[in-house]
Structure 1
Amino acid sequence: MSHTCSYCGLPAGRSWRHEHADDAPLFCCYGCRFAAEVTRERGESGAAVWTLTKLGLAIFFTLNVICFTMALWTDAVYGESSGPMSASYSDLLRYLGLLFSLPVLFLLGGPLLTNAFHDVRRGRLTTDLLLMTGVVAAFGYSAVSVVRGRGDVYFEVGCVILVTVTLGRWLEATSKLKATQALDELERLLPDRVRFISDDGRDHWIPLAELVPPATVRVLAGERFPADGVLQSESVSVDEQVLTGESWSVSKQRGDRILGGTLNLDGDVLLEVTAAPSQTAVARLIAAVREARKTQGPYQRLSDRVSSWFFPMIAAIAFFAFVFHGWQVSFDRGVMTALAVVLIACPCGLGLATPLAVWTAIGAAAKRQVLFRNGEALERLAEIRELCLDKTGTLTTGEACVTRMLLDESTSRNEATAIAKELAMSSTHAFSNAIRSWADGEPHQPEASARAFANVASIAPTPSLTLRVGVKTTFREARVRSGLGIVAESSSCIAALGNVRLMEHCVFDISPKLQRQIDETIAQGEPLTLIGWSGRVRAAFVFAESLRPSTRDLIDWCRHEGLPVSVLTGDHAGRGERLSNELAVPVHAGLLPDQKARFIHDRQQVVRVGMIGDGVNDAAALTAAHIGISLGAGTDVSRDAAAVCLLNNDLSQLAFAIPLARRTVGTIRRNLAWAFGYNTLGVVVAATGWLNPAIAALLMVASSLVVVRSSSRLSESA
């Protein structure tokens, strides 16, 4: 069973016992327990003076014990003296060592022993129990030696061990906390209080937790929006960089959606809240990342298997070292050797080798709007050697754009553009939107437009539904005909914007040249819309999907990294060929959903493939791939089938996520290699009796900090 540490927020480990009081704090290690006592609040600087005072007193007494021990060593260094003053002086120093070491044992040893017993009650066996057994044995042996008046004393060893272990675990806990602070920064985006607008129009402060939709709140310039909602004011500029990665300010108009945590840059605005604080995009992201931390990947499972037999193995080696050296040399030598074995062993380094790197990477990715469902997703993403992408909605925005215009010989470009734009004003169809956008970007010539409108008709406005054309002409009875297009009529002519069937319905003639161009375009699978007036088809607009701005960035990065890219689409072969020529990548067109999945499956027999998609028809391919990647704007089915989600739909974030995943796996391997190598060599050296326990304690702390520092670099490079 796994719980979350009350201090650092990381999993507190597994146990064979499941009972735990819900209101009782739970810690993953003694360092977090001690750090929590110091700060009193998770991740904040508290005022637990007594805890710090205990540590300060322990250090003071330890330094005194070291001085007494160094004075005792003078006999061994400069030659033993048998005078009565020397014997009395030696006894005094030994008793002082005992007296000054007892506070250290109780101040630092007591909490460490208590933590060990807490772990045992929770069903976790840790080396803290072995460590305290050795420390108590060293103190006990030294105390007996003092009382008997003969034998060596090791008070300084026990004191240094307790101080070193406590400080080391505290530093380790602090570093672990930093590894989880990426999510804390996201949590702090939302304010604690909000200005709630009551029914009488007045605003007053309420806690964020009490905000329930639907509700209206006021947000001033420089403040962050407290929840997801819809803008009720005319307009506002906002900063979404933390949430979407957009470095420039974004202009929002009335009715636009605003995410909680977005920064208001320039106005006093009203927001209609549409989601409770716990259901905002930020809250869902944080919840998803926290859930991802609970899932283990292959490296984590390997680390856990090794850790499961680490305690009994170290206990056995320490016991045999104690027996061997105690039998061959002396009892105190056996105790010191066993204590060195326990101290040199670093279960923390082994236990943190994988999860700390994974947690750091997941947090860093979340800040860039890349969501990893679990730690295994990181490891899988690092392993891909080929990338397949869906086209519609993934490489493209799913929105149409005009690529070119086919013209009748008797019609000018400006005439057709001006009239098409006016007709398109009466429709919200994707092609109408594309024509309006395209026309806005065309060079504007008022004289040509005026001639065009004069050629179409010149009649007086009517009170019926009208479509205004230019300045001089008004069409009446502008109608959208479902499945055909738009027809605008006047007393003297008809103008139409739509498909081929609409032109036939209006009985419009078409020139042979334009007919040939239209036939060729249709044969290539390109969609088009025709425009005609005064009994003749005048032009055709050819459409294509708009590429995402980040599409070329991703493909260029993949090409630079030597990562092969393929595009899978159900589009017509002609459109696939044009896309292939445009992006210089292989495009496999005309594929049904099951054919996409089969293609991925076949490639998986050769190389590990990552698949990026956004629609329901991509779910099978996402599941078949080594790792599935979805877009945040994709369907629920595609997001559920993918292990990685690009929340801001920015494909170029893969140029960040893939190297991050590879660095994470490299860090995990280095951490595991260090942990295995250090523990193997350290335990062997300690078992020989050549290592002082105090030095072993310092090495153990250093080993843990090496792993922590190695993992923390992932967030620094993100």
Structure 2
Amino acid sequence: MSKDKQHHHDHHNHHDHGGHDHHDHHDHHEHMDNGDHGHHHHHGDFKQIFLRSLPIGLIIMWFSPLMGLDIPFPFQYTFPYSDILATVLSTFLIFYGGKPFFQGAVGEFKEKSPGMMALVSLGLGVSYLYSVYAVIMRYVTGEYLMDFYFEFASLILIMLLGHWIEMVALGNAGDAQASLAKLLPKEAQVVLQDDSIEQRPVTELKVGDTVRVQAGENIPADGEIIRGTSRVNEALLTGESKPIDKSVGDTAIGGSTNGQGTLFIKVSQTGDSSFLSQVQSLVTEAQGNPSRAENRAHQVASWLFYIALGVALVTFVAWWAIADLQTSISYTVTTLVIACPHALGLAIPLVISRSTSLGANRGLLVKDREVYELTTKSDTMILDKTGTLTTGEFKVLAIDSLSSDYNEDELLAIMAGIEGGSSHPIAQSIIEYASEENVNPVDFTSTEVVSGEGVVGTYQDTEYKLVSQKVYGKSIDIEILPGATISILTKDGEALGAVSLGDELKETSKELMTILKDKGITPIMATGDNENAAKGVAGTLGIDYRANQSPQDKYDLIKSLQSEGKTVIMVGDGVNDAPSLALADVGVAIGAGTQVAIDSADVVLTQSEPGDIESFIELSFKTNSKMNQNLLWGAGYNFIAIPLAAGLLAPIGITISPALGAILMTLSTIIVAMNALTLNLDD
């Protein structure tokens, strides 16, 4: 998947990917992304390979006795030369269905880290080659040698199915780079010397050009405002929750959205030096960092590979010495075929599939299986403030009367009246609060917004003003709530009352902090907001914080924590969080976050509820433990079957008949499947 962090999330990874558009889920198929074969990683391709291989595989199994036994199973059908037909079909199947596994094995050997792919390729290669040899010998010497076409075909089908199940479960991730590019308009309106307007592609803008940006449009490039005033929404880029007043001399960031006025902007940065471009290069850099996830399924497969190879070698030498070459080859091949991990092939995909559907019911989308393991090892969580811990919307927190002539409802009626014509978020929240409290706004005869000061209005021939604390300029005696913005209502310069507005904490934020601390995860709030707002929220939650954080600051914070050996989860929602989401060991994008954040994260929570972060942590711990149990069951079968297949107990008359091997294999696969289904989340 093109979120390349996925590519790199594997510490056995390779950096020679042929393009970044493939779906790369690791562990038992992590190495198929070698070179330019990555497209095999897309679940569409696995589906196609599996569905095309299925009829051929089933025909081979139908024509081939199970483990070479002569028992006529109801699903078996042999006729003269059916073994030759099975050989032809198997030859097609090993080149078509087996291709991703052999490519994966080559990747693993290049990395000097053989694992699942090497193990599967070994089983497929040995069972195919020996079977071809057995069939040729039947016709050349007339001697009946057992073939392994049944095991060969069933192994390929189960492995392809396992990959497809997991690919479907983990779904497709978008491309963070493409989404970043979408924030900039394709065309800009360039103002020429004679004041006429020319449409020009954004890519052709030069420093010094003047562009016109109308209401509701995205700003095409970084620059300085030379004409016009407006309110610009930079929330996606900087994380600042309120739209920001902009007038002549202020800077504008490319990709932010212009509010209601028309702005003329002189371009100061284009291309690589622009804000968005810097975010883009941070994302690219983050995605180039190999992850520190240990891949347990890969490790288990790696041990099995070496064990199977070792045991096969000893078997070959021992039986050749005890009996003859033919007996020796027969035991050796049986060992290598039985070592093949049918159950391991499904052990993880089935848990992932179950976990994904449980998560999806709660709006949790996990794009990368290593996330579960990394989450359980994490010790630090960086959380954005606006929209993550707080609602991101301004609410009236308190109204205080500063004059004995007015009670709070009367003050609210005047404030709502004076703000009647304004679309400013603070005005809107006061008007909304009045309607919630069933207070009717008073009818002002005239109101006017005074730029940079506030609102002035006339009611019953008296002039009222609602201004910021800074404009009022005198101290007032009210309780200042943490993180609040305060506006003062005055009449003839005298303060009548004050309204405190703030970005409200979400109900589940406090509970989340408790749960994180219980799991040994230290929460740190990192926000682009100012010191006062940040301190207020962090104080209420009792956590550490960093204020005024630019995307680069958040990125550096994560980098420094990781360099201290910490495993970091980052939770955020804006473009400003994208580089950090990509760099963190686990990136969690929340809610109505931007497409860019969603693309650069490993986990997407469709609602912005802190309670969902809690569910995700619980899901990770439970999924992780199920994966461990399944690895144990899947590998446990091999630890019993391999020595028996090698004829370890043959001297005392106990050998594993190939049929028993197959039954044990099926049994371990069923146990693994049943265990996966018992995964559940608490309600």
TM exceeding 0.5 = yes
Is 1:418 matched up with 2:434? Answer: no
- Quote how far apart the aligned CAs of 1:541 are: 0.6
- Quote how far apart the aligned CAs of 1:424 are: 1.5
Is 1:537 matched up with 2:529? Answer: no
- Residue 112 of structure 1 aligns with which residue? 90
- Residue 486 of structure 1 aligns with which residue? 455
User: Which residue, 123, 138, 146 being the options, matches 1:127?
Assistant: 123
| 1:236-280 CA-partner distances (Å, limit 9, x unpaired) | xxxxxxxxxxxxxxxxxxxxxxxxxxxxxxxxxxxxxxxxxxxxx
The 5 Å alignment of 1:268-287 reads: none
Distance of 1:672 and 1:491 partners within structure 2: 79
| 1:301-349 CA-partner distances (Å, limit 9, x unpaired) | x755776797797567546534542442355533432232122111455
- Quote how far apart the aligned CAs of 1:112 are: 2.7
Distance of 1:641 and 1:54 partners within structure 2: 44
Question: Does structure 1 conserve the Cα–Cα contact (< 8 Å) formed by 2:162 and 2:345?
Answer: no
User: Which residue, 322, 335, 351 being the options, matches 1:328?
Assistant: 322
Judged with a 3 Å threshold, the aligned counterparts in structure 2 of structure 1 residues 61 and 666 are, in CA distance, closer, same or farther, namely: closer
Judged with a 3 Å threshold, the aligned counterparts in structure 2 of structure 1 residues 495 and 550 are, in CA distance, closer, same or farther, namely: same
Question: Does structure 2 conserve the Cα–Cα contact (< 8 Å) formed by 1:530 and 1:537?
Answer: yes
Is 1:650 matched up with 2:650? Answer: no
Give me the TM-score of the superposition, normalised by structure 1: 0.57
Is 1:431 matched up with 2:411? Answer: no
User: Alignment partner of 1:405: what SS?
Assistant: strand
The 5 Å alignment of 1:374-453 reads: 374-407=368-401, 408-444=403-439
Judged with a 3 Å threshold, the aligned counterparts in structure 2 of structure 1 residues 338 and 553 are, in CA distance, closer, same or farther, namely: same
- Residue 71 of structure 2 aligns with which residue? 66
Show structure 1 runs of 5+ residues with no match.
39-47, 69-96, 188-287, 450-468, 505-509
- Quote how far apart the aligned CAs of 1:653 are: 1.8
Amino acid at match of 1:390: D
Amino acid at match of 2:445: F
- Quote how far apart the aligned CAs of 1:588 are: 3.8
Judged with a 3 Å threshold, the aligned counterparts in structure 2 of structure 1 residues 112 and 549 are, in CA distance, closer, same or farther, namely: farther
User: Alignment partner of 2:376: what SS?
Assistant: helix
- Quote how far apart the aligned CAs of 1:56 are: 5.3
Q: How many residues align?
A: 521
- Residue 517 of structure 1 aligns with which residue? 477
Judged with a 3 Å threshold, the aligned counterparts in structure 2 of structure 1 residues 713 and 15 are, in CA distance, closer, same or farther, namely: same
User: Alignment partner of 2:480: what SS?
Assistant: helix
Give me the TM-score of the superposition, normalised by structure 2: 0.60
Judged with a 3 Å threshold, the aligned counterparts in structure 2 of structure 1 residues 142 and 384 are, in CA distance, closer, same or farther, namely: same
The 5 Å alignment of 1:161-172 reads: 162-163=149-150, 166=153, 170=157
- Residue 512 of structure 2 aligns with which residue? 554
Question: Does structure 2 conserve the Cα–Cα contact (< 8 Å) formed by 1:141 and 1:332?
Answer: no
User: Alignment partner of 1:434: what SS?
Assistant: helix
Distance of 2:167 and 2:44 partners within structure 1: 15
Select the structure of larger CA radius of gyration. Answer: 1
Structure having greater relative contact order (Cα 8 Å, sep ≥ 6): 2
Distance of 2:577 and 2:38 partners within structure 1: 45
- Residue 683 of structure 1 aligns with which residue? 642
The 5 Å alignment of 1:65-84 reads: 65-66=70-71
Amino acid at match of 1:339: V
Distance of 1:3 and 1:525 partners within structure 2: 49
Question: Does structure 2 conserve the Cα–Cα contact (< 8 Å) formed by 1:304 and 1:351?
Answer: no
Show structure 2 runs of 5+ residues with no match.
1-15, 106-120, 175-282
- Quote how far apart the aligned CAs of 1:434 are: 1.6
User: Which residue, 443, 464, 475 being the options, matches 2:445?
Assistant: 475
User: Which residue, 662, 667, 673 being the options, matches 1:697?
Assistant: 662
User: Alignment partner of 2:445: what SS?
Assistant: strand
User: Alignment partner of 2:337: what SS?
Assistant: helix
Judged with a 3 Å threshold, the aligned counterparts in structure 2 of structure 1 residues 184 and 316 are, in CA distance, closer, same or farther, namely: closer
Q: CA RMSD in A?
A: 5.4
- Residue 238 of structure 2 aligns with which residue? none
Distance of 1:319 and 1:501 partners within structure 2: 83
The 5 Å alignment of 1:126-525 reads: 126-136=122-132, 158=147, 162-163=149-150, 166=153, 170=157, 173-174=160-161, 176-182=163-169, 298-300=293-295, 314=308, 317-318=311-312, 321-322=315-316, 324-330=318-324, 333-349=327-343, 365=359, 368-372=362-366, 374-407=368-401, 408-444=403-439, 470=442, 473-476=443-446, 478-489=447-458, 492-500=461-469, 516-518=476-478, 521=480
Is 1:586 matched up with 2:543? Answer: yes
